[in-house]
Homo-oligomer: A and B are copies of this chain.
């Protein structure tokens, strides 16, 4: 049995996000952990399930449903998921999945690299659904894929918006990909599989459970550089996804709405408590997750300006590279300044002519300054 087979068996034997087993796999490898679970005297709670796994049947079900099974190290494996297992956050993060079943043609790694999660209530309002659809379509047209959970309400609106823009979209499911849940979204999820990807860490035949929905949320949060919460009750799955996203140090955005709307109370509270950045549209998202690449002017001598900056302003200014543009989310991380402060500081620096927003992020406003020094 090789690593891939062992990981498939672990997916069948162990509930998603079990920290004990994922930590053991990180340390000893999948084959050793599976072998120890299968030892006759094993006292693990997963021993019976591990011994009962029929891998041949799982392979048959995988083929029959036209699924792929990918594991860490495969080209399709998204590097972002490593954040679920590295270092101290492992205690909170529920661990990396042992493997993932995929349905659809695309590369999950490529799609996830430039993606945004859009999450929210099943019991969404027409307002929330229209915002989710517009955001997803607008992001799709900018080449940003939308990841969500395939549920009714905000999730469905987000997938539909991405599909309307003929952009790939990813639905991360809490059960096996042989059936679609919820049943009312079967047609939508079929289209997602056709133009994007369905993803699950559970083998065909497994049904979603409450615990599996919560574990699934960590995958949505970890896959994407940013998560947008549109409408949600405080104790909702979407709120749980936001907690994962914050724990993964991902960018979190929240969409405001009418103050009388109960489903906007959670986004409002997240914004108020600085757990999320206010998001009114695609531009707010792209400012935070924009691509890198263009050639900016070289760093000019701005010593006299720099001397007047506060410590935080200097930190933000200094992390902007001599060449290239960086999105505000990245600036915030590198400078160690909260996102909200970072945005305010970038605006102040822009007012002083030190930096400027470019098409692909923030950059030094070097050319202009050099010219005024002529």
User: Could you say which residues of chain B place their CB within 8 Å of the CB of A343?
Assistant: 272-274
User: Could you say which residues of chain B place their CB within 8 Å of the CB of A275?
Assistant: 344
Q: Is A5 an interface residue (CB 8 A)?
A: no
Q: Measured between alpha carbons, how far is A343 from B273 in the docked complex, in Å?
A: 6
Complex partner residue of A272 from B257, B278, B338, CB under 8 angstroms? B278
Query: Are B274 and A340 in touch, CB under 8 angstroms?
Result: yes
Q: Is A127 an interface residue (CB 8 A)?
A: yes
Query: Are B273 and A344 in touch, CB under 8 angstroms?
Result: yes
Q: Is A271 an interface residue (CB 8 A)?
A: yes
Among A271, A274, A281, A341, the one with the most B-chain Cβ atoms within 10 Å of its Cβ is: A274
Question: A338 to nearest B CB, angstroms?
Answer: 7
Q: How many residues of A are counted as interface, with CB atoms below 8 angstroms from the partner's CB atoms? A: 28
Interface string of A240-263 (1 = CB under 8 A from B): 000000000000000111111000
Q: Is A131 an interface residue (CB 8 A)?
A: yes
User: Could you say which residues of chain B place their CB within 8 Å of the CB of A259?
Assistant: 131, 255-257, 279-281
Query: Are B344 and A274 in touch, CB under 8 angstroms?
Result: yes
Q: Measured between alpha carbons, how far is A275 from B255 in the docked complex, in Å?
A: 18
Interface string of A254-292 (1 = CB under 8 A from B): 011111100011001001111101111100100000000
Q: Is A178 an interface residue (CB 8 A)?
A: no
Q: Given the known inter-chain contacts A268-B278, A278-B272, please indicate yes or no for A258 contacting B341, CB distance below 8 A.
A: no
User: Could you say which residues of chain B place their CB within 8 Å of the CB of A344?
Assistant: 273-275
User: Could you say which residues of chain B place their CB within 8 Å of the CB of A31?
Assistant: none
Interface string of A313-356 (1 = CB under 8 A from B): 00000000000000000000000001011011001000000000
Closest B residue to A264 using CB positions: B256
Q: Measured between alpha carbons, how far is A341 from B275 in the docked complex, in Å?
A: 10
Q: Given the known inter-chain contacts A258-B257, A258-B258, A280-B268, please indicate yes or no for A274 contacting B131, CB distance below 8 A.
A: no
Complex partner residue of A278 from B258, B271, B284, B341, CB under 8 angstroms? B271
Q: Measured between alpha carbons, how far is A274 from B121 in the docked complex, in Å?
A: 27
Query: Are A127 and B255 in touch, CB under 8 angstroms?
Result: no
Closest B residue to A257 using CB positions: B258
Q: Measured between alpha carbons, how far is A278 from B277 in the docked complex, in Å?
A: 11
Query: Are A280 and B265 in touch, CB under 8 angstroms?
Result: yes
Q: Measured between alpha carbons, how far is A275 from B345 in the docked complex, in Å?
A: 11
Closest B residue to A256 using CB positions: B256
Q: Measured between alpha carbons, how far is A344 from B269 in the docked complex, in Å?
A: 10
Complex partner residue of A273 from B255, B265, B340, CB under 8 angstroms? B340
Question: A183 to nearest B CB, angstroms?
Answer: 31
Question: A227 to nearest B CB, angstroms?
Answer: 17
Q: Measured between alpha carbons, how far is A101 from B274 in the docked complex, in Å?
A: 42
User: Could you say which residues of chain B place their CB within 8 Å of the CB of A264?
Assistant: 256
Interface string of A84-128 (1 = CB under 8 A from B): 000000000000000000000000000000000000000000010
Among A271, A272, A281, A338, the one with the most B-chain Cβ atoms within 10 Å of its Cβ is: A272
15 other A-B residue contacts (CB within 8 Å) besides A258-B258, A272-B277, A273-B344: A131-B259, A255-B259, A256-B256, A256-B257, A256-B268, A256-B278, A257-B257, A259-B279, A259-B281, A268-B280, A271-B278, A272-B340, A274-B341, A275-B344, A278-B278
6 closest cross-chain pairs (CB), A and B: A256-B256, A272-B278, A259-B280, A274-B340, A273-B344, A274-B344
Seen from chain A, the residues whose Cβ lies within 8 Å of a Cβ on chain B are 127, 131, 255-260, 264-265, 268, 271-275, 277-281, 284, 338, 340-341, 343-344, 347
